[in-house]
Structure 1
Amino acid sequence: MDVGFIGLGIMGAPMAGHLIAGGHRLHLKSRRQVPEQLVAAGGIACKSAAEVAARSDVVILMVPDTPDVELVLFGADGVAEGLRRGATVVDMSSISPIATRDFAARIAAKGGAYVDAPVSGGEVGAKNAALSIMVGGSAAAVARVRPLLELMGKTVTHVGDTGAGQVAKVANQIIVALTIGAVAEGLLFASKAGADPAKVREAITGGLATSRILELHGERMITRRFDPGFRIALHQKDLNLALEGARTLGLSLPGTALAQQLFSACVAHGAGDADHSALVRALEIMGNHQVAG
C-alpha cells in the first residue's frame, strides 16, 4: 500500500519504520528533515503534506496538538489539497475530540474517510511496535487501516464512531497522570521515612499496587533519568483537553486538576521538556526531599 506519514519525531519515526518493514511504500514529511534511516530503508521524502496525500492511499498524522493537525490538513499545501478521492486520513495525534469530528466532516467533503487513532505506550511502545491504539471511525474505514495499525501496536481497539478514539486517549491520560502522581508520592514517602525507595518499589511490584508506571516511571524517579519518552508539556496539553471537556460536560475532575498543577510547577522550574515521570520533582520541592540521589 502507498502510505503517507507526516510527523516523524520521537514517536512517529519508529512507527513509520515498522510500516516500511511491513512492506509498505512510505511517503514522508516532517517539520524537520526526514530521518536518514527511514530514507535508507526505502521511505520517500516529500516536500509538502499535499504531495504526501497525492501519492498515498492512506495518510497518517503524528503531530503534537490540535492546531498542528488542522495546519497539516487544511493549511497551505496541506493534505486536503492533494487528497485522493477515497483515501483515508488516520490521525494518530492526541487532540480534541470535538475538533476531530469537525476535521472528519471536512475531509469527508473532499471525498475521503477519517479515522482517529491516538496511541499510548510512549517512545518504548513506538520502538517495539507495542502501542495501545484507540480507534474511532466507521467500521469500513477502520477495517481498511487495521492492518497498518497492527504493524505499529500490540492492542488495536475500535472504540466507536469518529472522535471516540480521542475520548479514550483523554481518559487514558487522566489515569496515567494520576498514577504517576501516586507512584511519586509513595516513593517520596518511603525515601523520607528512611527506606530504600528501590527496595520499596521492588517489594510492592509483586502486590496490588503494581503497574507499568510503577515499573517504568518508578525506576526513572529513582535513577533520575528524565530524558523524555513523553514530555510534560505534551501531557499538560492532554490534561487541558480533559479539563475543558469536563467543564463542557459539567463534571468535576479534582485529581486531574491537581496533576495539572503539579505539571505546571515542573514547567515553572524548567522541566517542561522532561519526561512526565519528572512530576515527582514538584512533590520533592514541596517536601524538601529527593526520592534518590
Structure 2
Amino acid sequence: MPHSKRQKIGVIGLGIIGRGVTANLRSKGFQVFVWNRTPRPVPNFVGSPAELAEICDYIQIFVSDDEALLQTAHQLSEKLAPRHIVIAHSTVTPDSMRAAAEIVESRGARFIEAPFTGSKIAAEKGELVFYVAGDEATLQEARPILEASSKEIMKIGELGQATAMKIATNMVTAASVQATAEALGLIQALGLPLEKFVEAMKGNASHSTTLAMKMPKMIKRDFEPHFSTKHMLKDMQIANQLGLSNYLDLGVTAAARDQLLEQMQWGYGDDDFSAVARKYLPETESTGHEEPRLAEREEQTSAEATAPAPEVAPVLAQMSLPPSVAAAVVASAGAGEAKEAIPARRGFLTQLLRRARQLLKQPVSSKEG
C-alpha cells in the first residue's frame, strides 16, 4: 500500500468494534468512509457497500454472522476489481469465510481473513489482536491498516484457520466466565464476601485479563455490552457444530452455550455475555424486573415440555458420518431403520457421539433377513 495515509478505507458495520476501528483509523490520518445496515448520522456515510467499493480500495467488514458476511460480499462484488483488498473480521464458520473469499476473489480482488480478540475497550484504544490468513503480499500491503487498530497481528495459516482459532479462544473465554459466575454464586450462598473471592483469584494461576475486567462488573450486575451475549452465543453454537462434525464431545462448551441461550430467552441478548452471572447473583432487593421474566421462563419451560422433541436425523447429517455408520448409530439407539427419526432426549447426543466413535473404529456388520 502506498505510504500516504490519505488512502481511502471503507468500514462496513458500525457496531462496538467497527466504531472503535473507524475512530482509530481517522485518528491516524486515514480517510474513512462507512456503511451500516441501519443508517447512522456519521461522517462519510455512503449509500451501499457497492458505493463504498467505488470510493475505497481497502474495505474492512465488521458484520455479525455468516449470512451478513456472505450478503455483504455479494453486495460488494459488483464493484470489486484487482485494486481492492477486502478484510473480513467477522467470526463465522470456516466454510462461510472461505465462501466469502471465493466471492471476492472471483472478481479479481484480494481477500484477508482477520478475526480479532479484544472487545470494546481494546477497539477504542487500538489494542485488538488480529488472527490473520491470506496471501503474504496482500497481508503486507494491508498491514498499516490493521496496525492502526491493533497491538498484534498473528499469522495463523490458510483461509478458514484464523476463524477456527478465534472460535477456539472464545470457547475458553466463555467457559471461564461461566465458571466464574457459578463460583461467585457459591461464594455468596456460603455467606462469604464476593470481594474476597476477587482478591483470592488475583493470586490464582487461572486468573486472566478477562476475569479481572469481568468479575467486578458481575458483582455489580453491570452488564453494559463489551461483547454481547448474542454474539458469544453464536460463537459457541459454531464451536459445537465444529465439534460435532469432528466427532468431539464439547461438554463444557455446550454448557456455556446453554447458559448464554437462557439469557437470550430471558431477553438479555444485547447485554454483555457476563450476564450469565445474573441467575447466580440475584439482586438483594426486588426491583419487580426479574419476576415477570422468571414467570415467562416457567411458561416457556412448560411449553417446551409439551413440544415435540427435535429429530436426530439433522444431527446425523451434520456429523457427515459414512452411511453405514449412521445407520448403525440409529439402529443402536433403538430406532430400527436408519431413515427413521428418533427423538433427542437429555444426554442422548452424548450417547450418539460415543456410539459413532466406537463404530468408526470397527467394521459395521449388516444384518440380513
TM-score, length of structure 2 as denominator length: 0.73
Please give the secondary structure, in 2, of the residue aligned with 1:46.
coil
> Are the structure 2 counterparts of residues 35 and 168 from structure 1 closer, same or farther at C-alpha, using a change threshold of 3 Å?
farther
1:178 to 172, 175, 178: 175
Residue 22 of structure 1 is matched in structure 2 by 28
What is the 5 A alignment of 1:30-69?
30-36=36-42, 39=43, 44-69=44-69
How far is the alpha carbon of 1:167 from its aligned partner?
0.8
Give the match for residue 146 of structure 1.
143
Q: Show structure 1 runs of 4+ deviating over 6 A.
A: none
Q: Provide the residue aligned with 1:166 in structure 2.
A: 163
Q: Greater shift after overlay, 253-262 or 212-221?
A: 212-221
CA distance in 2 between counterparts of 1:251 and 1:210 reads 27
Structure 1 residue ranges without an equivalent (≥5): none
Matched, 1:94 2:91: yes
Confirm or deny that 1:82 pairs with 2:76: no
Q: Structure 2 CA distance, aligned partners of 1:228 and 1:35?
A: 22
Out of 187, 192, 195, which is 1:190 matched to?
A: 187
Q: Which has the larger radius of gyration?
A: 2
Aligned AA (1:63): V
Instruction: Give aligned pairs, total.
Output: 279
Could you say what secondary structure the match of 1:11 adopts?
helix
Whether the 8 Å CA contact 1:13–1:35 is kept in 2: the answer is no
Asked if 2 retains the 8 angstrom alpha-carbon contact of 1:137 and 1:163, the reply is no
Structure 1 vs Structure 2: percent identity of aligned residues?
Answer: 27
Structure 2 residue aligned with 1:261: 258
Trace 1:163-242 onto structure 2 (pairs within 5 A): 163-242=160-239
Q: Return the TM-score normalized by structure 1.
A: 0.91
SS of 1:64's equivalent?
Answer: coil
The code of the aligned residue for 1:71 comes to Q
- The whole-number CA distance in structure 2 between the counterparts of 1:292 and 1:20 is 45
Deviation at 1:291, TM superposition (A): 8.1
Shift of 1:4: 0.8
| CA RMSD, Structure 1 to Structure 2 (Å) | 1.5
Task: Flag the 1:130–1:292 CA change in 2: closer, same or farther, 3 A.
Answer: farther
With over 3 angstroms needed to count, the CA separation of the structure-2 counterparts of 1:279 and 1:148, relative to structure 1, is same
CA positional deviation for 1:239: 0.9
Q: Could you tell me how far apart the structure 1 residues matched to 2:257 and 2:283 are?
A: 21
Which digits, 9 at most, give the CA deviation of each residue in 1:148-202, with x for residues without a partner? 1111111210111111211111111111110111211222221111111112202
**Which runs of 5 or more residues in structure 2 are unaligned?**
1-6, 286-369
State the one-letter code of the partner of 1:222: I
The residue aligned with 2:271 is 274
Q: How far does residue 35 in structure 1 lie from its aligned partner after superposition?
A: 4.6
- Residue in 1 that maps onto 2:359: none
Following TM superposition, by how much is the alpha carbon of 1:292 offset from its aligned partner in structure 2, in angstroms? Answer: 7.1
Asked if residue 127 in structure 1 is aligned to residue 127 in structure 2, the reply is no
Partner of 2:113: 116
Cα distance in 2, alignment partners of residues 214 and 169 from structure 1: 18
Instruction: Output the amino acid matched with 1:122.
Output: S
The answer (yes or no) to whether the contact 2:221–2:278 under 8 Å persists in 1 is no
